[in-house]
Copies of this chain bind each other. A is one copy, B any other.
Amino acid sequence: MSLMELLPVRDVTACCSPLTREAITEENATNLASSLKALADPARLRIISMVAAHIDAEACVCDLTEPLGLGQPTVSHHLKILVDAGYLTRSKRGTWAYYKLVPGALDGVARLLVTV
């Protein structure tokens, strides 16, 4: 239920068939809920969208704080949640930390929701 015990979304989505295809287990429901919770915040959705739209599809913290209108610690906090959940990767170059989308992560979640 908390955002702290997080299985990477890749592992969460590898396990099962779509929600409405067969009854989900309690454990898988807990894991999927955690992955969705990591996504279910306006700032984090915008971060994902901004990273995808940025040059080379990567962005550093300094690219995000001003357009988000949030403090740097808050942005770092959201980025950590997205990395821990497996939606973003972090790579440090010099003093900068660059964040990129994990290919297929969002698609894995989408696959579990779809009904067709």
Q: Which residues of A contact B (CB under 8 A)?
A: 1, 19-24, 26, 29-30, 32-34, 36-37, 39-46, 48-50, 52-53, 101, 103-104, 106-107, 109-111, 113-116
Q: Is the CB–CB distance between B23 and A33 below 8 Å? A: no
Judge whether B22 and A53 touch: CB under 8 Å: yes
Assembly CA distance A95 to B40 (angstroms): 35
Q: Which of B20, B26, B37, B45 contacts A52 (CB 8 A)?
A: B20
Main secondary structure of the interface of A (DSSP, over half): helix
Q: Cβ of A104: which chain B residues have Cβ within 8 Å of it?
A: 115
- Once bound together, how far apart are the Cα atoms of A78 and B39, in whole Å? 20
B45 and A40 form a contact (CB under 8 A): no
